[in-house]
Amino acid sequence: MVDKRIVVTRTVPESALDVLREVGEVHVCTQDRPLTPAELREAVRGAHAVVAMLHDRIDADLVGAAGPQLQVVANVAVGYDNIDVPAVTDRGVIVTNTPGVLVDATADLTIGLLLMVTRRLGEGERLLRARQPWTFRLDFMLGTGLQGKVLGIVGLGGIGQAVARRARAFGMDVVYTGRRRAAADVESELQARFLPIEELLGTADVVSLHCPLTEQTRHLIDKPALAAMKPTAYLVNTSRGPVVDERALAEALRERRIAGAALDVFEREPEVEPELLELDNVVVVPHLGSATTETRAAMVELAARNVAAVLTGGAPLTPVRS
């Protein structure tokens, strides 16, 4: 029997490679950067399976470069906006993702960012690291408390629900919006109230984004959306960068039309809108939503199990539907 060729586009934990080695010959791209499109096409030639990262563009050209033996693309992410799913699945290739395993890590980071921006923790650390003089006084570097404030969640999926549970523990009220209403038992548990997005933007003290990137959500938070928010409100984004128009956000923050923003993802990642980096009322971190040792290992192990299932004739564990 011919060994199945499995291409992994970045280095991953050995625990995942062990799963893959049981079903095929594993080739890991060891460069410490994303592959260029040409490099990616070359790397996947002859592959039966590809374990891809969120920065890898997977489309019809990539499938064609791999060859007719390609069976599965396992994306190490819950989002799959980097994959042209219809174009890939129309060619008989299964696409999978890694939902569920990163819910808690991303929700934890969301709350961390929320606290950083509302309590001005980044500003405070920068002040001390710059060795600026300071002394305690009652009006020094005042932030905003969370108790009794309204958290507006855009996208009440698994991560959004986990964020809502944490926010309730801080004494926040929860409203949400999305393509459809959540189940009644979810609304009841979270004491969450559904609002149209226009009303949510004008109601929430913190707007937290947890929606996938689609043509409908690209620049969902644009200049009019930012204008609809309270001047005392904060924006938190741990979903996908292009959901926010970064230039419009920078302008709104500079003019204090909203109070602050905390971003884990960026429109042209890894680039960041330069003006955002100059503003004190912005917290930025480099796509750390799922960045715990346990979570990243669980993500790539799930991707590996998806590959193993498909290459041995089984059904994928977490398929993406076109």
Selecting among 287, 296, 301, 305, the annotated active-site residue is 287
Average pLDDT rounded to a whole number, residues 20-43: 96
Instruction: Tell me if residue 269 is catalytic.
Output: yes
270 prior amide bond cis, ω within 30: yes
Selecting among 10, 240, 296, 305, the annotated active-site residue is 240
Whether 275 and 297 map to the same domain: the answer is: no
Task: Report yes or no on 23 lying in a domain.
Answer: yes
Task: Report yes or no on 164 lying in a domain.
Answer: yes
CA distance 260 to 223: 15
Average pLDDT rounded to a whole number, residues 58-70: 97
Q: For 20, phi and psi rounded to 5 degrees? A: -65, -40
Q: Are the C-beta atoms of 113 and 238 separated by less than 8 Å? A: yes
Q: How many residues appear in the chain?
A: 322
Task: Report yes or no on 316 lying in a domain.
Answer: no
Average pLDDT rounded to a whole number, residues 6-21: 97
Please write the tens of the pLDDT for every residue from 160-173: 999 999 999 999 99
Q: What is the DSSP letter of 320?
A: P
Whether 54 and 35 map to the same domain: the answer is: yes
Whether 129 and 230 map to the same domain: the answer is: yes
How many separate helices (H) and strands (E) can be counted in the chain?
12, 12
CA distance 311 to 186: 37
pLDDT score, position 322: 76
CA distance 241 to 247: 12
Selecting among 123, 199, 269, 275, the annotated active-site residue is 269
Instruction: Tell me if residue 294 is catalytic.
Output: no
Percent of the chain beyond pLDDT 90? 98
Percent of the chain beyond pLDDT 70? 99
Q: Are the C-beta atoms of 304 and 8 separated by less than 8 Å? A: no
Task: Report yes or no on 62 lying in a domain.
Answer: yes
**Strand ranges, E, within the chain:** 5-8, 25-28, 49-52, 72-75, 94-96, 150-154, 173-177, 192-194, 206-209, 234-237, 260-263, 282-284
Residue 187's pLDDT band, with cuts at 50, 70 and 90, is very high
Whether 123 and 265 map to the same domain: the answer is: yes
Q: Does residue 217 have a pLDDT over 80? A: yes
The pTM of the full predicted model, rounded to 2 decimals, is: 0.94
String of DSSP letters for 39-94: HHHHHTTT-SEEEE-TTS-B-HHHHHHH-TT--EEEESSS--TTB-HHHHHTTT-E
Residue tagged 């043509």 (tokens): 215
Whether 73 and 188 map to the same domain: the answer is: no
Whether 87 and 175 map to the same domain: the answer is: no
Q: Are the C-beta atoms of 294 and 268 separated by less than 8 Å? A: no
Whether 149 and 274 map to the same domain: the answer is: yes
Domain count, the chain: 2
Whether 132 and 155 map to the same domain: the answer is: yes
Task: Report yes or no on 320 lying in a domain.
Answer: no
Of all helices (H) and strands (E), which one includes residue 23?
A: none
Please write the tens of the pLDDT for every residue from 2-12: 589 999 999 99
Q: Which domain holds residue 28?
A: 5-100+293-311
What CATH number does the domain containing 37 carry?
3.40.50.720
Please write the tens of the pLDDT for every residue from 219-247: 999 999 999 999 999 999 999 999 999 99
Q: For 107, phi and psi rounded to 5 degrees? A: -65, -40
pLDDT score, position 2: 58
Whether 110 and 51 map to the same domain: the answer is: no
Task: Report yes or no on 318 lying in a domain.
Answer: no
β partners of residue 284: 263
Average pLDDT rounded to a whole number, residues 63-84: 97
Whether 232 and 260 map to the same domain: the answer is: yes
Q: Does residue 1 have a pLDDT over 50? A: no
CA distance 223 to 133: 37
pLDDT score, position 47: 98
Question: What is the average pLDDT score of the chain?
Answer: 97
Instruction: Tell me if residue 240 is catalytic.
Output: yes
CA distance 213 to 217: 6
pLDDT score, position 32: 87
Whether 137 and 152 map to the same domain: the answer is: yes
CA distance 65 to 47: 9
Task: Report yes or no on 319 lying in a domain.
Answer: no
Please write the tens of the pLDDT for every residue from 93-118: 999 999 999 999 999 999 999 999 99
Task: Report yes or no on 78 lying in a domain.
Answer: yes
- From residue 310, how far is each of 6, 11, 70 by CA, in Å? 12, 22, 11
Whether 124 and 256 map to the same domain: the answer is: yes
